[in-house]
């Protein structure tokens, strides 16, 4: 079954823009990205959109569909009311390049601030052994496709540009949690306190557990309950553990 839909697509660049209305054909089984491609093919070839896999795996086609952060290639038209306009806007948290394309380099800068896995001393790479429970925990976090929808939705930076320098966002706090929970990570021996750094350097305290990040994640990673809350607990345990406190005082002398 085909029908004509009204799309309102944000057109513009860093200097400003507006919602442009289009009437466009929609066919059974199509996703929002199919309709965007039809717009490019039939009405507006200069419409800028980033995409790659069209299978929900590259994380490129992130945008906001009716104000909700979504992957356009995974949003079926059948889930949207056919008699209401579909509004497409770029991710609001990041600077616009053009039309639906945003500059997500904030995220790559945050990724670079996190020290990578520190291999355990004296254990050859082939000799690493981990309990299946620990493997499963990291595997959930490693499903991340870096679509940055969680970063886009988090209120700490969504409307607060001033928080960006001190806040890594859920995707990268989750990365710190993954490394902090990793049984073979030897960062502590290299003088890196991951949970403390999450608190002091990456703004973990700004997260007030609204769960919006978990709600929008297309990989259904339970970011809040499985990464952020445990990381907060670990940071608090370290801060308020009397032995850890005493040790840090002695080390500072
Ligand atoms: Fe996207 Fe989920 Fe990864 Fe966030 S955690 S970047 S929402 S896949
Ligand atoms: Fe933001 Fe997720 Fe925390 S949306 S406030 S990081 S629970
Ligand atoms: Fe790759 Fe949508 S095009 S996730």
Question: Rounded CA gap, 245 and 48, in Å?
Answer: 53
The residue to mutate among 73, 111, 150, 222, having the most atoms of ligand 1 within 8 angstroms of its beta carbon, is 150
Structure tokens at 182: 């990793």
Q: Which ligand is nearest to the CA of 145?
A: 1
The residue to mutate among 35, 55, 91, 218, having the most atoms of ligand 3 within 8 angstroms of its beta carbon, is 55
Q: Is 210 in the pocket of ligand 2 (CB under 6 A)?
A: yes
User: Which residues of the chain have a pLDDT value below 50?
Assistant: 252-253
Residue 124 buriedness (CB in 10 A; 0-12 / 13-18 / 19+): exposed
Q: Would you tell me how many other CB atoms lie within 10 Å of the CB of residue 253?
A: 4
Structure tokens at 117: 């896995």
38-82 pLDDT, tens digit per residue, is 999 999 999 999 999 999 999 999 999 999 999 999 999 999 998
Q: Is 154 in the pocket of ligand 2 (CB under 6 A)?
A: yes
CA dihedral in degrees (222, 183, 57, 152; nearest 10)? 50
Q: Do 181 and 215 touch, CB atoms closer than 8 A?
A: no
Question: Rounded CA gap, 58 and 60, in Å?
Answer: 6
| Percentage above 90 pLDDT, the chain | 90
Q: State residue 237's pLDDT score.
A: 82
**Which H helix or E strand runs over 238?**
helix 229-240
Q: State residue 252's pLDDT score.
A: 47
- Residue 145 alpha carbon, nearest atom of ligand 1: 8
Q: Is the ipTM of this complex over 0.90?
A: yes
- Residue 53 alpha carbon, nearest atom of ligand 3: 1
Q: State residue 178's pLDDT score.
A: 97
Q: Do 93 and 157 touch, CB atoms closer than 8 A?
A: yes
Q: State residue 96's pLDDT score.
A: 98
Q: Is 145 in the pocket of ligand 1 (CB under 6 A)?
A: yes
Tokens 């607060």 belong to 160
* Ligand 1 mean position, distance from CA 2 (Å): 33
Q: State residue 247's pLDDT score.
A: 57
Q: Do 97 and 103 touch, CB atoms closer than 8 A?
A: yes
Q: Do 59 and 68 touch, CB atoms closer than 8 A?
A: no
């Amino acid at each position: 079954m085909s029908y004509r839909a009204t799309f309102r697509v944000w057109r513009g660049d860093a200097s400003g823009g507006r919602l442009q209305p289009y009437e466009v054909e929609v066919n059974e089984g199509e996703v929002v990205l199919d309709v965007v491609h039809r717009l490019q093919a039939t009405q507006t070839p200069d419409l800028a959109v980033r995409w790659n896999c069209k299978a929900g795996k590259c994380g490129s086609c992130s945008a906001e569909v009716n104000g909700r952060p979504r992957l356009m290639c995974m949003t079926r038209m059948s889930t949207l009311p056919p008699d209401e306009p579909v509004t497409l806007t770029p991710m609001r948290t990041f600077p616009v390049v053009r039309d639906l394309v945003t500059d997500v380099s904030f995220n790559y800068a945050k990724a670079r601030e996190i020290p990578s896995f520190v291999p355990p001393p004296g254990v050859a790479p082939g000799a690493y052994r981990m309990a299946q429970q620990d493997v499963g925990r990291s595997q959930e976090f490693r499903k991340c496709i870096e679509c940055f929808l969680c970063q886009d939705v988090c209120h700490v930076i969504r409307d607060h540009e001033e928080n960006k320098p001190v806040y890594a966002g859920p995707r990268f706090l989750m990365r710190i949690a993954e490394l902090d929970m990793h049984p073979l990570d030897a960062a502590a021996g290299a003088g890196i306190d991951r949970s403390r750094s999450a608190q002091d350097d990456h703004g973990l305290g700004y997260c007030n557990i609204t769960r919006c990040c978990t709600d929008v994640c297309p990989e259904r990673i339970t970011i809040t309950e499985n990464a952020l809350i445990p990381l907060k607990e670990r940071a608090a345990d370290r801060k308020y553990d009397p032995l850890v406190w005493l040790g840090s005082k002695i080390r500072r002398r």
